[in-house]
Amino acid sequence: MAAADQIQLYKLICRQVATNLGMTASFLPKPVAGVNGSGMHTNVSVSKNGKNLFWDPKGQEKLAKFGWDFLDRILTYGNDICLLFNSSVNAYRRLDPHFEAPNRLYASAVDRGAMIRIPIGNERSMRTEVRAVAPDANPYLVLLAIFKSGLQGEVSKDANLRSSERKLPDNIYTAIADFRNSKWTTKLLGGKDVKGRYADLKEASADRCPRLLGTLVKPQEVQFHHEVYNQFLWNQF
Domains, the chain: 3-231 (3.30.590.10)
pLDDT reading at 232 higher than 60: no
**Rounded CA gap, 221 and 175, in Å?**
17
In this structure, what DSSP letter does residue 55 have? Answer: B
Q: Which phi and psi (to 5°) does residue 115 adopt?
A: -60, -40
pLDDT reading at 213 higher than 70: no
pLDDT reading at 70 higher than 50: yes
Q: What is the mean pLDDT of residues 120-139?
A: 92
Q: For all residues of the chain together, what is the average pLDDT? A: 83
- Supply the pLDDT for residue 71: 93
Q: In the structure, what pLDDT confidence band is assigned to residue 237 with cuts at 50, 70 and 90? A: very low
pLDDT reading at 39 higher than 90: no
**Rounded CA gap, 70 and 113, in Å?**
19
More confident residue, 58 or 237: 58
- Percentage of the chain beyond pLDDT 70 is 77
More confident residue, 159 or 202: 202
Q: What is the mean pLDDT of residues 212-237?
A: 57
Instruction: Return all residues near 18 (Cβ < 8 A) that are at least 6 apart.
Output: 24, 25
Question: What angle, rounded to 10 degrees, do the helices at 78-85 and 139-152 form?
Answer: 160
Handedness of CA 172, 175, 177, 180 (dihedral sign): negative
- Supply the pLDDT for residue 15: 64
Q: Is 128 exposed, middle or buried (0-12, 13-18, 19+ CB in 10 A)?
A: buried
- Percentage of the chain beyond pLDDT 90 is 49
Q: Locate all alpha helices (DSSP H) within the chain, ordered by sequence.
A: 3-20, 65-76, 78-85, 91-94, 139-152, 172-181, 183-188, 192-207, 219-225, 227-234
Q: What is the mean pLDDT of residues 152-158?
A: 85
Q: In the structure, what pLDDT confidence band is assigned to residue 220 with cuts at 50, 70 and 90? A: low
**Contact between residue 42 and residue 140 where contact means Cβ atoms under 8 Å apart:** no
Q: In the structure, what pLDDT confidence band is assigned to residue 164 with cuts at 50, 70 and 90? A: low
Handedness of CA 136, 184, 42, 10 (dihedral sign): positive
pLDDT reading at 234 higher than 50: no
pLDDT reading at 202 higher than 80: yes
- Supply the pLDDT for residue 227: 55
- Supply the pLDDT for residue 28: 81
Q: In the structure, what pLDDT confidence band is assigned to residue 24 with cuts at 50, 70 and 90? A: low
- Supply the pLDDT for residue 150: 95
- Supply the pLDDT for residue 129: 95
Q: What is the mean pLDDT of residues 84-113?
A: 86
